[in-house]
Chains A and B, each alone.
Chain A
Amino acid sequence: MLTKKNLASTFLKGKRRGDKIFRGIVIAASSYSALMLILVAFAVGEGALPIFSQEGFQFVVGTDWNAVYGRESFGALPYIIGTLLSSAIAMAIGVPISLGIAIFVTEMAPRRLSTPLSFVVELLAAVPSIIYGLWALFVFRFWVRDLIERPLYEHLNWIPFFDKTPFGLDIFTAGIVLSIMIIPIISSITREILLVVPNSQREAAYSLGATRWGTLRTAIFPYAKSGILGASFLGLGRAIGETILVTMIIGNAIGPAAIPTTLFSQGQSLASLIANEFNEAASDLHLSALIGLGAILLLLSMIINIGARFMVSRMVKVVPGGRE
């Protein structure tokens, strides 16, 4: 490859030992960083091997969780359900709100307002999840219990979803707090995507007399569809892997009891069970079962992330820094 950029070093081949050494160093660093993913996959796979060889596929579809010696039996199904359900609630609440924020910031607000607003939303993204957890545990869960769950229970308890005395520490609360956590992520990527939609799209629709919503629906959304979908999936990946926040508020049920029968049931997610029991693992098999949960979680989030990156990169390069 002979570009202008490295013409000189091609010319002086062999005379520049420094170049070779430096090249070796950067390639070594790149190999290390690429090796990490392989290392993660292998370490988790190896750690999960005992449980999969013991329980086989039963580990994925089983519901028991018994670490007592001699009666050990582990199944991950309740926690897979808990993970997916709490993330689904987070998505159902988070995606529309994120979309609304992105629309307001890019299409409606004057520049004076939109700059500080996106600043505030991005600050929200910088708050560590343990702080969301602390706030949810001591403040927000009472809001959810008294303002949302109680009324739903009192008036709509003929719907099976709501038929349980709400306590505040349940899958529903976990989903809401997760949505608060992923809103900044989804809305800032969606904002970037709406910003790259060419102005000619908007002008064309406006010139035909479209309202703002008409413009969004006919000219902007079709153009930004795959990008917005990808942004939502990135948020989903975040919600699925979130650990400490969920551990603090999901209620930490175990075994068959962790399969939610209502929205207000105590639950457990894959990540939260790992965090709860990892340091108290009673046996090697128990530990392997917890690592097995990690393996399932890894697989889930890998699929979601690869899908999301693919969809977003079709639309716009998403960069954690630098110029878009």
Chain B
Amino acid sequence: MSGNTGKQPTRFHRKEVQKMMVKNARKAKIVDKIVSIFAILCVILAVIPLSSILFEVIKDGIAAINWDFLTGKPSAIGRAGGGIGPAIQGTLIVVGLATMIGAPIGILTGIYLSEFAGGGSFPNGVRFFNEVMTGLPSVVMGIVGYILIVINIGSFSVWAGAFSLSIIMIPIVSRVTEETIKIVPNSIREAGFALGIPKWKIILFITFKSAVSGILTGVVLAIARIAGETAPLIMTILGTSLFFTGFNSPVDALPLRIWRLSSQPYESAQEQAWGAALILILMVLILSVALRLLAQRRGLAVKAEI
């Protein structure tokens, strides 16, 4: 909170405001109309792109989708036919693996920050570092995955991609977990302590359990976010037209496949790019909408993305 809680901002004394209002009454009304129209215009301007994106993706995407497209391998460049099977499989594997690394660490960090840590320098450092991490460009995470993993094992790999995505995921999950667990009323914990239950059991079976829907919300939010990431995957999993062959070799992913397809000059490739985009947007939007509905039912306020 800034300093003037409960006070008038010092720059505007009542008299001054009053005088100004009376003097400018007519002008003010016109300006007010203009501002209102401007605000409405802004809303319309923002809704146009969303409807256009959804319209184009659905219109062009549906035409491309059939069973072979969803399960088949990509055909040679410039040839019609082929599918995005490896891309769907790769996205599921890489995002799944990233979630298996990122979610537990994020949740445990959140538990530490809310249940164990006070305001010492270590917990504050962890909080600060996580906040800074949230805003870092995802392409940098890809570089890190490349330097730490790809160079060391000598091949583009699933691990490197999952590691890069998990770095993006951890701060989101830990922040949501910390905030959600903080809301759990203290009386529940005290009841547990009164029964002589060890603290770790109280945290896992009482506090965590009552906060689990909120934490799940955070995890789903983070999954939706990393499923759409393209940049960190370029230098970690590379992309290939083959199905999964092992954790130490390249795989494909939907965002990467969309990028590759869209940069080909062939109409058939572009149609497929729209099809892949429809699959990706369905995955992400279904996750987000389900999340919103769940959160609304639980009375939690969820922010789309930060």
Taking Cβ atoms with an 8 Å cutoff, the residues of A that contact B are 1, 4-9, 12, 16, 18-19, 21-23, 25-34, 36-40, 43-44, 46-47, 96-101, 103-105, 108, 117, 119-135, 137-140, 180, 183-185, 187-189, 192, 198, 200, 204-205, 208-214, 216, 218-219, 222-223, 226, 234, 237-238, 240-244, 248, 271, 274-275, 278-279, 291, 294, 297-298, 301-302, 304-306, 308-309, 314-315, 318-324
Give the distance to chain B from A293, nearest Cβ to Cβ, in Å.
9
Q: List 5 A-B contacts (CB under 8 A).
A: A16-B199, A40-B140, A123-B289, A126-B285, A322-B176
The 8 closest A-B pairs by CB, nearest first: A128-B228, A241-B137, A100-B42, A322-B179, A29-B108, A22-B200, A122-B304, A305-B135
| B104 contacts across to A, CB distance below 8 A | 29
| B303 contacts across to A, CB distance below 8 A | 122, 188-189, 192, 318-321
Give the distance to chain B from A183, nearest Cβ to Cβ, in Å.
6
| B126 contacts across to A, CB distance below 8 A | 30-31, 33-34
Whether the pair A126, B304 counts as a contact (CB closer than 8 A) is yes
Which of B28-36, B76-84, B241-249 touches A? B28-36
Task: Provide the main secondary structure of the chain B interface.
Answer: helix
Q: Give CA–CA (A209, B179) in the complex, Å.
A: 40
> B186's contact among A4, A204, A308, by CB below 8 Å, is which?
A4
> B230's contact among A44, A138, A212, A244, by CB below 8 Å, is which?
A244
| A125 contacts across to B, CB distance below 8 A | 304-305
Name the residue on B nearest A298 (C-beta). B140
Given A33-B109, A34-B130, A212-B35, do A319 and B280 touch, yes or no (CB 8 Å)?
A: no
Q: Give CA–CA (A98, B126) in the complex, Å.
A: 31
Interface string of B162-178 (1 = CB under 8 A from A): 00000100111011100
Q: Give CA–CA (A12, B200) in the complex, Å.
A: 13
| A323 contacts across to B, CB distance below 8 A | 179, 183, 300-301
Q: Give CA–CA (A309, B129) in the complex, Å.
A: 12
Give the distance to chain B from A277, nearest Cβ to Cβ, in Å.
10
| B32 contacts across to A, CB distance below 8 A | 211-214
Whether the pair B179, A321 counts as a contact (CB closer than 8 A) is yes
Name the residue on B nearest A317 (C-beta). B179
| B137 contacts across to A, CB distance below 8 A | 240-243, 271, 297-298, 301
| A104 contacts across to B, CB distance below 8 A | 39-40, 42-43
Whether the pair B21, A209 counts as a contact (CB closer than 8 A) is yes
Residue B158 CB within 8 A of the other chain: no
Whether the pair B136, A244 counts as a contact (CB closer than 8 A) is no
| A308 contacts across to B, CB distance below 8 A | 135
Residue B159 CB within 8 A of the other chain: no
Taking Cβ atoms with an 8 Å cutoff, the residues of B that contact A are 1-2, 4-6, 8-9, 11-12, 14, 17-18, 20-22, 24-25, 28-29, 31-32, 35-36, 38-43, 45-47, 49-50, 52-53, 56-57, 104-106, 108-109, 111-113, 115-118, 122-123, 125-126, 129-144, 146-148, 167, 170-172, 174-176, 179-180, 182-183, 186, 189-190, 193-194, 196, 198-201, 203-204, 214, 217-218, 221, 224, 227-231, 234-235, 238, 255, 258-259, 262-263, 270, 273-274, 277, 280-281, 284-285, 288-289, 292, 300-306
Q: Which of B21, B148, B303 is packed against the most chain A CB atoms within 10 Å?
A: B303
Name the residue on A nearest B239 (C-beta). A279
Name the residue on A nearest B168 (C-beta). A36
Whether the pair B140, A134 counts as a contact (CB closer than 8 A) is no
Whether the pair A322, B112 counts as a contact (CB closer than 8 A) is no
> B39's contact among A108, A219, A234, by CB below 8 Å, is which?
A108
> B234's contact among A12, A108, A121, A275, by CB below 8 Å, is which?
A275
Whether the pair A33, B129 counts as a contact (CB closer than 8 A) is yes
| A305 contacts across to B, CB distance below 8 A | 131-132, 134-136
Whether the pair A180, B136 counts as a contact (CB closer than 8 A) is no
Whether the pair B45, A97 counts as a contact (CB closer than 8 A) is yes
Whether the pair A222, B12 counts as a contact (CB closer than 8 A) is yes
Whether the pair A18, B305 counts as a contact (CB closer than 8 A) is no
Whether the pair B41, A100 counts as a contact (CB closer than 8 A) is yes
Whether the pair B17, A218 counts as a contact (CB closer than 8 A) is yes
Give the distance to chain B from A217, nearest Cβ to Cβ, in Å.
9
Given A16-B198, A243-B231, do A188 and B304 touch, yes or no (CB 8 Å)?
A: yes
Q: Give CA–CA (A6, B115) in the complex, Å.
A: 9
